[in-house]
Structure 1
């Protein structure tokens, strides 16, 4: 199910000069914010939770997921270069699965690691805040990668749709509108983090059992459907 050649090509595409520069911006900004907050406010568990929840999980992780998930396949479909990959003796579900693994890995590295470092800067992992939000970033990376990989497969406007989802639904509605929180990857990941952090340090509007089911369901269904959509792409000469 995992093809090293597909993985190498996908890593090369995602970590090219332009896209890599974009991937570094948000983590760097998070670390700068964390250092500034620690300098002026000192170590405070609640402030640390607010920064990590409000910026890292609500904004940085989904945006990096957009870049990695859509970038893993969208540009190849848009410019037609996907036909060279599809002409190889590699099953199309294998292509999707491999690209998903790469997107997850890239999203985790550029979101979870900076989240951990920022948490340590902010409060030295008091009440396990840094570790809890890092776990949330890891969990969210999986679901976001699958979701945005699907968008990259089904739409030429995947980046725009992904940004709307990340900035409007997750960062705005997912944080402020109670009814929307149940359908928010952010809240699902926070439910996992809540079990790790100290009492009251991390909160979620979704219970852990439901959050776990939804995280798994979104990841599996999005990956399966992306594979089905890739099957429908026809090459010249195919019946």
Structure 2
């Protein structure tokens, strides 16, 4: 049944127009990097800044938002989730399978393009490029938990997620000191900083705290989503 849920989730993700954005966003990132590599003499000087401020702070949260909300919010909105809820399937199986599919999409269309972008900008520093790819995946897992929870809790998941991505992660998480400690972007930067040891990569959060917060947010987000899905079943049966 897990395979069936995964297949239905993929069909939902890529069967709607917004699914095209899952391909457009990484293409925009890679195209920009290629353009800069062809027109600028030395892109190594600002490669980490571009990967952080555009790739990690803008592109990745949007890819995660589309993947996570598309995995379950669409089915809740159109009522097709009833098909799964009517089956004798554990509710955590539904959530974890859909979250797993979303994470797989983020890996393919978020983390790997991030790594490629780093290689394009600075072919001599493969370690930093790989670190950004791993950091993007780590952040993507946390984003998946957050957006999955929002999708099950609110009917306006996309709007709320968009505001969170663009305002909190892209702006507050980069430029407001007090907000940085609560930014998934900063937590993932702590991982990237440790893996790359690049002088221009800095996080406002220490690595041990960042790891704890990443695990906590992921656990709490998925737990909330599972709990809420169970309550949806009860309300439906009534």
Q: TM-score range by the shorter chain?
A: over 0.9
Q: Distance in 2 between matches of 1:125 and 1:151?
A: 40
- Kept in 2: contact 1:59–1:167 (CA 8 A): yes
Q: Distance in 1 between matches of 2:149 and 2:133?
A: 24
Deviation, 1:87, is 0.3
Residue aligning to 1:116: 115
Residue aligning to 2:159: 160
Residue aligning to 1:203: 202
Q: Deviations over 1:52-81 (max 9, x none)?
A: 111110001100111011111111111211
Q: Distance in 1 between matches of 2:163 and 2:83?
A: 31
Cα distance change, pair 236–154 in 1 and its aligned pair in 2 (3 A): closer
RMSD in angstroms over aligned alpha carbons? 1.6
Q: TM-score, normalised by structure 1?
A: 0.95
Following TM superposition, the consecutive aligned residue runs of length 4 or more in structure 1 with deviations greater than 4 angstroms are none
Indicate the SS of the match to 1:57.
helix
Residue 9 (1) aligns with residue 8 (2): yes
Q: Distance in 2 between matches of 1:38 and 1:191?
A: 27
Q: Distance in 1 between matches of 2:137 and 2:115?
A: 11
Indicate the SS of the match to 2:24.
helix
Residue aligning to 1:213: 212
Deviation, 1:101, is 0.5
- Kept in 2: contact 1:188–1:214 (CA 8 A): yes
Indicate the SS of the match to 2:237.
coil
Deviation, 1:236, is 8.1
Q: Distance in 2 between matches of 1:212 and 1:237?
A: 38
Deviation, 1:127, is 6.8
Q: Which has the higher helix share?
A: 2
Q: Distance in 2 between matches of 1:237 and 1:143?
A: 29
Where does structure 2 lack aligned partners over 5 or more consecutive residues?
A: none
Q: TM-score, normalised by structure 2?
A: 0.95
